[in-house]
């Protein structure tokens, strides 16, 4: 596909279409879930951020750069107050390598149900600058992977290994999502305040480059949870078990394809011999083939045998993924981008298929993914399509969005 055709496939939305999109039923359906607990805390953070914005020019605090995205992929550095010295459980970190998430492109184009402008970026490897007095597991100068979700590590959900459901913060509390994520700042910045350092930060294994591991914060961990909990048992039952990864089915897939490509790499690393990726984008199929996957166009899905593990990392309809899930197989989907979807329940009932849907618990899946990287079995850098200096973030990220690129990594 030519770059001109790619640009047409990713049209930026201006302010009017972006804000109109926030009033659609899909966006409206998310609001009650966002407000189902810790409402007062969410409101307080919103008001504190607004007050901080108003006092921006008069405050005497140190300042730093933070990348702000407005509808239409308008990116710019903004001078904002640097984080205050860390509280007892907190850390201040300095992102060394930060990468785009698969939602950053539609988010910055104004096509997601998340309000802009927003401080962008939620995947990074960072250097610890300062820690609070109760922090035990990391020290200044160490390199860490920062999970995108905010979690306390000590509530009942965190202790159960479900930090994405942490009860100490409002639902969907995350870096780089602006008002929707609760105003925790973005990783495309000079400094980031990590609220619960011991619970969240994971030391970068020795010998792993920051740029290779930046996406472990979210997309690599996401791919890992799609594959690692399910594949070993399926391969035990059938060493030739098929893995099908559904990335883009429509002419204009909304999401970038890095989770899909990482999932393919992880499936191969864990011993799958038969891994197929479906995408309508020629460059994604070519990339998949370079990684050793079999690549299919959407129309070639018809007639394919069902797969024991189906990964649906896509904003396109779920039904084709479920229809291609084998008997006693598993379909796992990010799934959160549909208000409702068409599910072939009778087919699933007869085949006893299991469907998993949800945002990943990133922190829980990061150590397993990092171990594969440290052992050289997973190489996320092979999914990276562009690397740019941190200082050039506005240009590099705008180009990433307009080109519909897969993964851009900013490095210092
Ligand atoms: Zn993400
Ligand atoms: Zn918690």
Distance of CA 153 from the midpoint of ligand 2 (Å)? 5
Q: Kindly identify the ligand whose nearest atom is closest to the C-alpha of 223.
A: 1
Q: Which two tokens stand for residue 170?
A: 């409002």
82-105 mean pLDDT: 97
Distance of CA 196 from the midpoint of ligand 2 (Å)? 9
Please report the pLDDT score of residue 182 as a whole number.
86
Distance of CA 156 from the midpoint of ligand 2 (Å)? 7
Angle among Cα 367, 150, 83 to the nearest 5 degrees reads 115
Please report the pLDDT score of residue 57 as a whole number.
55
Q: Kindly identify the ligand whose nearest atom is closest to the C-alpha of 151.
A: 2
Residue 8 scores a pLDDT above 70? no
Distance of CA 140 from the midpoint of ligand 2 (Å)? 24
Please report the pLDDT score of residue 326 as a whole number.
97
Distance of CA 329 from the midpoint of ligand 1 (Å)? 26
Please report the pLDDT score of residue 56 as a whole number.
55
Highest mean pLDDT: which of 110-114, 178-182, 365-369? 365-369
Distance of CA 336 from the midpoint of ligand 1 (Å)? 12
Distance of CA 134 from the midpoint of ligand 2 (Å)? 17
Mean pLDDT of the chain: 91
Considering the chain, what percentage of its residues have pLDDT values greater than 90? 77
Q: What is the pTM for the complete model shown?
A: 0.93
Q: Using alpha carbons, select from 184, 189, 228, 166 the residue that is nearest to residue 365.
A: 228
- Reported as a single tens digit per residue, the pLDDT across 267-281 is 999 999 999 999 999
Please report the pLDDT score of residue 1 as a whole number.
38
Distance of CA 332 from the midpoint of ligand 1 (Å)? 17
Count of other CB atoms within 10 angstroms of residue 106: 23
Q: 3-state SS of 141-167? A: CCEEEECCECCCCCCHHHHCCCHHHCC
Please report the pLDDT score of residue 7 as a whole number.
34
Residue 100 scores a pLDDT above 70? yes
Residue 6 scores a pLDDT above 50? no
Distance of CA 150 from the midpoint of ligand 2 (Å)? 8
Distance of CA 149 from the midpoint of ligand 2 (Å)? 11
Distance of CA 45 from the midpoint of ligand 1 (Å)? 21
Please report the pLDDT score of residue 359 as a whole number.
93
Please give the residue that has the higher pLDDT: either 362 or 41: 362
- Reported as a single tens digit per residue, the pLDDT across 222-233 is 999 999 999 999
Please report the pLDDT score of residue 114 as a whole number.
80
Distance of CA 366 from the midpoint of ligand 2 (Å)? 17
Please report the pLDDT score of residue 32 as a whole number.
77
Q: Which two tokens stand for residue 44?
A: 């307080």
141-146 mean pLDDT: 98
Please report the pLDDT score of residue 293 as a whole number.
98
Please report the pLDDT score of residue 59 as a whole number.
58
- Reported as a single tens digit per residue, the pLDDT across 169-202 is 999 999 999 888 888 999 999 999 999 999 999 9
39-55 mean pLDDT: 76
Rounded CA gap, 401 and 100, in Å? Answer: 10
21-32 mean pLDDT: 69
* pLDDT band at residue 53 using 50, 70 and 90 as cut-offs: low
Please report the pLDDT score of residue 49 as a whole number.
77
Please report the pLDDT score of residue 10 as a whole number.
60
- All residues at 6 or more sequence positions from 356 whose CB lies less than 8 Å from its CB, including other chains: 330, 331, 332, 333
81-105 mean pLDDT: 97
Residue 39 scores a pLDDT above 90? no
- All residues at 6 or more sequence positions from 375 whose CB lies less than 8 Å from its CB, including other chains: none
- Reported as a single tens digit per residue, the pLDDT across 336-346 is 666 678 889 99
């Amino acid at each position: 596909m030519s770059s001109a055709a790619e640009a047409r496939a990713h049209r930026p939305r201006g302010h009017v279409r972006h804000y109109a999109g926030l009033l659609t039923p899909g966006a409206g359906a998310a609001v009650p879930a966002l407000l189902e607990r810790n409402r007062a805390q969410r409101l307080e953070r919103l008001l504190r951020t607004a007050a901080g914005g108003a006092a921006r020019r008069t405050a005497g605090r140190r300042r730093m750069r933070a990348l702000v995205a407005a509808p239409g992929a308008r990116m710019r550095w903004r001078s904002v107050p640097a984080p205050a010295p860390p509280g007892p459980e907190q850390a201040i970190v300095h992102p060394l390598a930060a990468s785009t998430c698969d939602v950053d492109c539609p988010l910055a184009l104004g096509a997601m149900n998340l309000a802009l402008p927003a401080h962008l970026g939620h995947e990074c490897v960072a250097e610890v600058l300062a820690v609070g007095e109760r922090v035990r597991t990391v020290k200044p100068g160490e390199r860490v992977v920062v999970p995108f979700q905010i979690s306390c590590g000590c509530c009942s959900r965190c202790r159960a290994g479900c930090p994405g459901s942490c009860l100490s913060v409002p639902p969907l509390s995350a870096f780089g999502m602006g008002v929707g994520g609760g105003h925790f700042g973005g990783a495309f910045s000079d400094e980031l305040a990590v609220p619960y350092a011991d619970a969240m930060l994971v030391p970068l294994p020795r010998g792993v480059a920051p740029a290779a591991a930046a996406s472990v914060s979210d997309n690599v961990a996401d791919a890992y949870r799609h594959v690692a909990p399910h594949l070993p048992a399926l391969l035990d039952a059938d060493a030739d078990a098929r893995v099908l990864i559904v990335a883009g089915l429509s002419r204009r897939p909304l999401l970038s394809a890095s989770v899909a490509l990482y999932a393919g790499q992880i499936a191969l690393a864990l011993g799958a011999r038969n891994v197929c990726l479906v995408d309508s984008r020629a460059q994604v199929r070519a990339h998949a083939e370079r990684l050793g996957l079999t690549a299919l166009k959407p129309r070639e899905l018809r007639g394919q045998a069902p797969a024991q593990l189906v990964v649906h990392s896509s904003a396109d309809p779920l039904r084709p993924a479920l229809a291609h899930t084998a008997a006693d197989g598993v379909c796992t989907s990010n799934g959160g981008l549909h208000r409702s979807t068409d599910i072939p329940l009778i087919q699933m009932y007869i085949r006893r298929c299991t469907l998993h849907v949800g945002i990943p618990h990133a922190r829980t899946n990061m150590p397993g993914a990092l171990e594969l990287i440290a052992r050289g079995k997973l190489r996320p850098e092979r999914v990276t399509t562009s690397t740019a200096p941190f200082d050039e973030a506005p240009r590099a990220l705008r180009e990433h969005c307009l080109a519909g690129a897969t993964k851009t990594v900013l490095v210092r």
